[in-house]
Structures are given as C-alpha cells and as structure tokens.
Structure 1
Amino acid sequence: MSKIRITKEFTFETGHALYGYDGKCKNVHGHSYQLSVTVIGEPITDTSHVKLGMVIDFGDLKKIVKEEIVDPFDHATVFNKNTPHVDLAIELSNRGHKVILSDYQPTSENMVIDFAKKIKSRLTAPIQLHSLKLRETGTAFAEWYAEDN
C-alpha cells in the first residue's frame, strides 16, 4: 500500500512581542498566521470501515488542530513568561484579554515546534505528523519536518 500525505490549512490571528529583540518586533503586534498541517499514513483498506480510503478524516484533523492550536491562539497575545513582558501579560489578562504565557520566545520557529508537539500528542498510530508550515506573513514562514527531528 502507498503512503499518502494529507494536508489541511488553518488561519488564526495572534499577537506577540519579542522581548530583547533589536527590531520592530520588540513591540506588541500581530499576524494573520496560516498553518499547514501535513500527516502521513496509508489509506484505510477495511471495506467495513466508515473511513474507507482515508488516511485520516479531514474533520478529525480539523478537530485536533482547532482544539490544540486555533482556539487557544486565535485573537490571543503570546508572551514569553520568562521576561518582563509577564507584567504586561498579567495586566492585559486582568482587563479581560486573551493571553498565553509560553515557555519560549514566541517566534514562528518556536511556535511551530510547540504546535508539532501538541498535534503529535493527539495523533494515533499509524498516522504520523509529517510536517508543519507556519506562515507569519506573505513572505515569511517557518517549517517543521518529522524527518529532521
């Protein structure tokens, strides 16, 4: 049987600030992120299975990514909890804003690593996470590949 890659794309709006950075991104700002999630596996061949011919139901993949990434990150602001930005984060949170305090500097590179861990934890064998592509702008993105990790 052939291995097939299935990709689903997602969009969400997220703000962040890069503490200690020497450019504009040290300021709180946001992006319209585009996330492409690719899984790999073999299509189901059991003729009695309701998902016959699928590697994974796109709806099932959507549910995982929505719960782990899109719902928490959409219209949230991400700050590294190990920086003085934590004071701003607490203030915003106290005023009813959606804030995520991460263990990392919220760059696209670190976010895609975090997203890979979260998605991988929800996939069941034999389906595997193949790759992620997190587009921050129309010309800038970070990619994660299982084969590299």
Structure 2
Amino acid sequence: MPKWTLHTEFKFDAAHLIEGYDGKCGRMHGHSYKVHLSAESNKLNPSKYLETSDMVCDFRELKWAAKDAEKGGLDHGVLNELVKVNPTAERIAEYIYKETDRRIPEGIKLTITVWETENSWVEYTE
C-alpha cells in the first residue's frame, strides 16, 4: 500500500501564562514557537484549492496556526484567550492537532511537534 508523509515547519510568536503555576511561567510572557507538522496518508485527496486527488492535503491548510491571531491563527496572540485551556506546551500541541485535523481530509495521521524553546519541545499525536 502506498504511503505519503508531508512535513512542514513554521513559527509563530505568542504570549501566555500558565495559570496556577508556581514560578516565572505563572506570569505573562512570550515565546517564539516552532512547529513541525507531519501528515501521513495512504491515499491522495483533493483540497480546497485543487479539485483533483493529487495531494495528501494542502500545505496552506497545515500552516493555519502561523497566521496572525486576528486572521484565525496564533501569531502575536495571547494563547490564554485563543486556546481556551491552560496553554502549556502540551495543550498547545493538542490544540494545533485538533484544529488542523478538522481542516483536512479524513484518514490523515497527524503528528504535531511544538518547540517552546530551542531545547524544550513536545510531540502530540492520536
């Protein structure tokens, strides 16, 4: 059976605080987040931008979170207001996964990796 795996990376800057955290992260601060997203599929699909079944999914749909917060993404937003859960790196990765999953065709296996700092990251998949 064929298999295709798309990979893309993007960055966004955002502010957050971790409510209830006993330490510096309990105060409002910002990060330059890096996201690696992989999308694996055994079939090719059409997209919002291409009617023929020639892609796993569109890279544009995978990179939605890099858009400005005022345009539906996360860039230059306050994650506490956008994510609606305590925005730890784990919850941010989960949020990006779920929002991406609803934008792409069914049957695509996603893996989301979010770097909060150069040396600290989390990976999320279902």
Secondary structure of the residue that 2:56 maps to in structure 1?
Answer: coil
The structure with the largest helix share of the pair is: 1
SS at match of 1:115: helix
| 1:129 matched to 2:106 | no
2:66 paired residue number: 70
Please state if 1:103 is matched with 2:99. no
Partner in structure 1 of residue 20 of structure 2: 20
Cα separation, partners in 2 of 1:50 and 1:33, compared to 1, 3 Å:
same
**Cα distance, 1:103 vs structure 2:** 2.5
Structure 2 unaligned segments of length 5 or more: list them.
45-50, 68-72
Partner amino acid, structure 1, of 2:79: V
**In terms of mean alpha carbon deviation, does 69-78 or 105-114 score higher?**
69-78
Q: Which has the larger radius of gyration?
A: 1
Mapping 1:1-149, distance limit 5 Å: 1-42=1-42, 44=44, 52=54, 54-56=55-57, 60-61=58-59, 63-67=60-64, 69-71=65-67, 72-79=73-80, 100-126=81-107, 128-146=108-126
Length-normalised TM-score, structure 1: 0.68
Structure 1 residues not aligned, in runs of 5+: 80-99
C-alpha RMSD over aligned residues:
2.0
TM-score by length of 2: 0.79
Q: 1:101 to 1:115 in 2, by over 3 A?
A: closer
SS at match of 2:19: coil
- Report sequence identity in percent: 28
Q: Which runs of 4+ in 1 moved over 3 A?
A: 49-52
Is the contact made by 1:64 and 1:119 (CA closer than 8 Å) also made in structure 2?
Answer: yes
Separation in structure 1 between the aligned mates of residue 12 and residue 84 of structure 2, nearest angstrom: 21
Distance 2:84 2:78 in 1: 14
